[in-house]
């Protein structure tokens, strides 16, 4: 598995374990289910799998509140299932990345239960910071002190100035590296370090989950020492083990600091994900992302959907656009992240009944809930789940893997073809002039044309048509790669 620089152009598939595949029939996805579907992912054509947290957790934030970083939560299986999944993935030539959650633990973590306050951020008085999930970022305990939680109150922030915290995470990384994982997606990688005096922000606006605000609790210079140190741990293992920052930095320049040569390998490009369906804006974010990543010798990454945002079919307003956006993304140089179900063209579920919604972020405002992108995947025409933890729309029978596989017009087959074609080209991106509302670029022999207007455009490109996101000649689509 030691092919050098494998991550620079890897396609990494995000498995939201709870919703991906259910191995034991209890309505909640698990590691056995994910393992059974590895051949599906191999056939899809991805290089690696990122598994969202499956560690022991009370699930106040669906596993992003970890009570034991070295064990698997019983609803997801056992440690032996994680090991079996990693080994089997390797046998298929797939790499495995796991989530590590270092900004906070669960309030059921032994340190918090044992009242080890110096490992968390306790103060006699709260400041004016607000939780990303809504409400104050401080909760008072019985004796009157307050603890900081940038997310839910069940997720107390750790004090990264305490040596025991740093040592514990070194050991956690080694534990999973020893088990064979190929890397980590680092949750809130920009958040671990806070200024000692915890200054007030001075304005009541709430910070959004994926935002660009400059705030004193995110993107502090001190986080980079941690990432540098972690890079040394990653590099001390054979094969290339990688660190991927989930960092929300205010600008692409600030984001590039996370992927300097002695820091992490990749950082999610939320600037791309946040761009609207607009040719000029997409072009500018792509150009800037490539330039800033290149300035530190890192590959750019691309992502359109994940478990925290509206699925891109819904965000862009149609499946046609989403398919075009996907072909655009997969034609770009660098590494791409896919979110489970996007290969089926799943939309956001916007009409989940109130009583089934579970995301703690709904506290902030009911519309910001992330349940709608976490609805379990339909595997078969009868959906394939007994009593799924969130209801699957009956209309998804036609979007199921069973319904789409082998149908050349389906989104699943589009992804499979695109991922195959992606392996056949390389090289830097070179923009070509093109009519307003369109994008045209070349990478070596490949030309990618994207028509974002509502009228057909003749791009006048010669050559063999490799793939298109819709039938040529249709009203407004494109995504022709020739
Ligand atoms: C994860 C979220 C989670 C939060 C707190 C994020 O960035 O992706 O799902 O709620 O971190 O851990």
Q: What is the pLDDT of residues 57-73, one digit of tens each?
A: 999 999 999 999 999 99
Q: What are all long-range contacts of 322-325, with beta carbons under 8 Å and residues at least 24 apart?
A: 323/411, 323/414, 323/469, 323/470, 323/477, 323/479, 324/450, 324/451, 324/452, 324/469, 324/470, 324/477, 324/478, 324/479, 325/277
Is 342 annotated as catalytic? no
Q: Return the pLDDT at 157.
A: 98
Which residue lies with its CA nearest to atom 5 of ligand 1?
A: 64
Q: Is the dihedral of CA 15, 16, 18, 22 positive or negative?
A: negative
Averaged pLDDT, 365-393: 93
Inter-residue long-range contacts of 346-352, CB under 8 Å, 24+ positions, other chains counted: 346/311, 346/313, 346/375, 346/377, 346/396, 346/399, 347/311, 347/313, 347/314, 347/319, 348/310, 348/311, 348/313, 348/314, 348/315, 348/372, 348/373, 349/373, 349/375, 349/390, 349/393, 350/314, 352/390, 352/391
Which pLDDT score, from 0 to 100, does residue 207 have?
A: 59
- State the pLDDT confidence band at 209, using cuts at 50, 70 and 90: low
CA distances for 116 relative to 147, 164, 330, angstroms: 12, 11, 47
- Predicted TM-score (pTM) of the model is 0.96
The average pLDDT across 235-262 equals 94
Atom of ligand 1 nearest to the CA of 307: 9
Evaluate if residue 185 carries a pLDDT over 80. Answer: yes
Q: What is the pLDDT of residue 140?
A: 98
Alpha-carbon distance 114 to 296, whole Å?
43
What is the CATH number assigned to the segment(s) 6-105+163-427? 3.20.20.80
β-bridge mates for residue 266, sequence order: 244
Helix (H) / strand (E) element for 256: namely helix 252-256
Q: How far is the CA of 349 from the centre of ligand 1 (A)?
A: 20
Stretch 210-223: mean pLDDT: 83
More confident residue, 134 or 417: 417
| Least trusted range by pLDDT, from 157-161, 203-207, 224-228, 448-452 | 203-207
- pLDDT class for 210, splitting at 50, 70, 90? low
Q: What is the mean pLDDT of the chain?
A: 93
How many Å is the Cα radius of gyration of the chain? 22
Q: For 419-448, what is the mean pLDDT?
A: 96
Q: For residue 241, report the phi and psi dihedrals to the nearest 5 degrees.
A: -95, 135
Residues with CB under 6 A from ligand 1: 61, 64, 101, 151, 187-188, 246, 307-308
**Catalytic pick from 47, 107, 187, 320?**
187
Mean pLDDT calculated for residue range 38-60:
98
Per-residue b/e over 223-246, b at no fewer than 16 CB within 10 Å? bbebbeebbebbeebebbbbbbbb
Tell me what the mean pLDDT of segment 433-457 comes to: 95
Q: What is the number of the ligand 1 atom nearest to the C-alpha of 101?
A: 12
- Distance between CA 393 and CA 395 in Å, rounded? 5
How far, in Å, is the centroid of ligand 1 from the Cα of 474? 40
Domain extent listing, the chain: 6-105+163-427
Q: What is the predicted pLDDT for the residue at 358?
A: 86
Is residue 187 annotated as a catalytic residue, yes or no? yes
pLDDT digits (tens, 9 = 90+) for 267-311: 999 999 999 999 999 999 999 999 999 999 999 999 999 999 999
Give the pLDDT band (50/70/90) at residue 151: very high
């Amino acid at each position: 598995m030691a092919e050098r620089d494998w991550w620079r152009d890897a396609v990494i598939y995000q498995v939201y374990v709870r919703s991906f595949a259910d191995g034991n029939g209890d309505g909640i996805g698990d590691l056995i289910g994910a393992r059974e579907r590895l051949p599906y992912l191999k056939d899809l054509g991805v290089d690696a799998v990122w598994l969202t947290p499956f560690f022991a957790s009370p699930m106040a934030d669906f596993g992003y509140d970890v009570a034991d970083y070295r064990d698997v939560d019983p609803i997801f299986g056992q440690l032996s299932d994680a090991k079996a999944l990693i080994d089997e993935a390797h046998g298929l030539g797939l790499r495995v990345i796991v989530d590590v959650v270092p900004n906070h633990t669960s309030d059921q973590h032994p340190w918090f239960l044992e009242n080890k306050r110096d490992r968390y951020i306790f103060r006699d008085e709260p400041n004016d910071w607000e939780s990303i999930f809504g409400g104050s970022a401080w909760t008072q305990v019985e004796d009157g002190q307050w603890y900081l939680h940038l997310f839910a109150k069940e997720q107390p922030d750790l004090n990264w100035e305490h040596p025991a915290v740093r040592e514990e995470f070194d050991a956690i990384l080694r534990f999973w590296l020893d088990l064979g994982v190929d890397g980590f997606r680092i949750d809130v990688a920009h958040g671990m370090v806070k200024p000692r005096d915890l200054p007030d922000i001075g304005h009541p606006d709430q910070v959004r989950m994926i935002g660009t605000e400059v705030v004193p609790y995110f993107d502090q210079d001190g986080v980079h020492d941690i990432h540098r140190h972690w890079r040394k741990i990653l590099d001390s293992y054979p094969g290339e083990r990688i660190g991927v920052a989930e960092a929300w930095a205010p600008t692409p320049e600030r984001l590039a600091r996370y992927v300097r040569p002695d820091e992490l390998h990749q950082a999610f490009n939320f600037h791309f994900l946040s761009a609207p369906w607009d040719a000029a804006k997409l072009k500018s974010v792509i150009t800037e992302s490539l330039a800033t990543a290149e300035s530190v010798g890192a590959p750019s990454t691309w992502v359109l959907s994940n478990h925290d945002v509206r699925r891109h079919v819904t965000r862009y307003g149609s499946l046609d656009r989403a398919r075009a956006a996907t072909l655009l993304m997969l034609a770009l140089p660098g590494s791409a992240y896919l979110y489970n179900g996007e290969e089926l063209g799943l939309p956001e579920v916007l009409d989940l009944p109130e009583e089934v919604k579970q995301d703690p972020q709904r506290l902030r405002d009911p519309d910001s809930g992330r349940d709608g992108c976490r609805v379990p995947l339909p595997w078969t025409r009868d959906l394939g789940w007994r009593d799924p933890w969130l209801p699957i729309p009956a209309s998804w029978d036609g979007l199921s893997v069973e319904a789409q596989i082998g149908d050349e017009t389906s989104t699943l087959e589009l992804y499979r073809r695109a991922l195959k074609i992606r392996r056949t080209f390389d090289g830097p991106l070179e923009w070509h002039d093109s009519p307003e509302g369109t994008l045209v670029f070349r990478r070596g022999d490949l030309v990618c044309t994207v028509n974002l207007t509502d009228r057909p455009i003749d791009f006048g490109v010669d050559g063999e048509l490799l793939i298109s996101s819709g039938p040529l000649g249709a009203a407004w689509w494109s995504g022709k790669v020739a």
